[in-house]
Amino acid sequence: MHGRGYRDLEVWQKAMDLAVDCYRLSEGFPKHELYGLTSQLRRAAMSIPANIAEGEGRQHTGEFIQFLSIAYGSLSELQTHIEIAQRLEFFQEPVASKLLTRTDQIGRMLNGLIKSQRDKQKH
């Protein structure tokens, strides 16, 4: 275990809120996108907190870092899906902008957590 449980990690809590919001917002996407952008956006959004949780549950710091890196990759994928949805006018620009601001914050938090885990690994 890496200290606190994953539910106590602020980055996990924010990622969960973002995933729920993305899921709800994508309900308004065209039905023909259900197996396309809707599915991809939801999968990427849910992958972020899931990988944080899985990594925190691992026995070794190196594994935790690996899963945090995967979560960061999913975050980048989600940002791309949000921008595509906005360009296709599935999201209005203010909604997309607000979501991207939140993804940027989560990205900074993930980077900070990765750095702190790497520092911990060195000692």
Q: What is the 3-state secondary structure (H, E, C) of 11-66?
A: HHHHHHHHHHHHHHHHCCCCHHHHHHHHHHHHHHHHHHHHHHHHHHCCCCHHHHHH
If you ran DSSP here, which 8-state letter would residue 8 be given? G
- Number of other CB atoms surrounding residue 62 within 10 Å: 11
pLDDT of residue 1: 42
pLDDT of residue 4: 64
pTM of the model: 0.94
| Mean pLDDT value across the chain | 95
pLDDT of residue 2: 46
pLDDT of residue 59: 86
Residue 123: which pLDDT band, with cuts at 50, 70 and 90?
confident
Residue 18 vs residue 123, higher pLDDT: 18
